Amino acid sequence: MDVKFVGRMQLSSTWIDCGRVTPKLPTGSLRLSRKLKEKQRLQVGFSADIQSTTNKNRHGSVSFKVSCSYQNFPASVLESGSLPVSSDESLILKHKSQEVGPYINGRCIYLVGMMGSGKTTVGKVLSQVLAYSFCDCDTLIEEEVQGISVAEIFKLYGEGYFRNKETEVLKKLSMMHHVVVSTGGGAVVRPINWQHMRKGISVWLDVPLEALAQRIAAVGTESRPLLNHESGDAYTKAFRRLSALLEERGEFYANANTRVSLENIAAKLGYRDVSSISPTAIAIEALEQIGNFLEEEEGIAYNPNLA
């Protein structure tokens, strides 16, 4: 994690400006020297330990201890205390992409998950930070069928026709590189689709059903053909159908190379509700899990401390 120290420390008549960025935390060090009379040098050591932070803005504190040594005399503590720190998710994401990106080696990243799980939003964040292209399978299918919406395709031609087009699109994408792909919620059911996606790295965005239903109810179910036949208010209709779909597809989502659990992210950040998690935070976790997959499953010596 990167943090920025805010503030200054005073040592006798000397002020040390702490407005600097220190990479590769949670631990870091800063050594300063100051020329004194008779060309003697005072060595000032600065050490910082980052405490875990759980508040919404990712703010925390750095504890520090300043000591000095002169010639062969032992070091003595001049001052100790703490400084406020803050972290920027965009900087964390950038550094995480620099750590993991080279090991992905241009392979496509396929985001799978239920409708409303944020595959398109998170996919665009990942594609930007990795300098990849972004493709939405549903959009590509619509373009191939003269711009007709997915809901209209289901209505006019049926779900089977749509699934065949989906497989054709995934086959074409599997021959490409440097692309983040947002797949349809049901793409995981067909084994042949997995054959295409196995040429890249698949990531399951696992979002609690309650959160999915709230998201879909907020924007309406008209564009979701698999939800249109349910009765009741928007939330109840979405939750009921999503529960049935997850029952059918859950084992298929679990075939993904790695899983990004929003509940786990919320626990890490100290959030009570997954709705507080930003797309950037999800993208950070996705890259973290991809790095773990590459290290554990493929034997690549991925080491984030070396990036």
Q: SS3 letters for 218-254?
A: HHCCCCCHHHCCCCCCHHHHHHHHHHHHHHHHHHHHC
All structural domains of the chain with their residue ranges: 85-298
Whether the predicted pLDDT of 23 surpasses 50: no
Q: Using 50, 70 and 90 to split pLDDT, how confident is the model at 100?
A: very high
Q: Which amino acid is at 41?
A: R
Report residue 100 as tokens. 């993991």
pLDDT at residue number 222: 57
Please report, rounded to a whole number, the percentage of residues in the chain having pLDDT higher than 90: 58
Report residue 265 as tokens. 């992210």
Whether the predicted pLDDT of 231 surpasses 70: no
SS (H, E, C) 74-117: CCEEEEEEEEEEECCHHHHHHHHHHHHHHHHCCCCEEEECCCCC
pLDDT at residue number 233: 76
Dist CA 42 CA 10 (whole Å): 15
As a CATH number, domain 85-298 is 3.40.50.300
Whether the predicted pLDDT of 18 surpasses 60: no
Summarised one tens digit per residue, pLDDT across range 50-74 is 344 444 444 444 454 555 554 455 5
Angle subtended by helix axes 119-130 and 279-298, to nearest 10: 70
- Mean pLDDT score, 283-307: 79
Q: Which amino acid is at 299?
A: G
Please report, rounded to a whole number, the percentage of residues in the chain having pLDDT higher than 70: 64
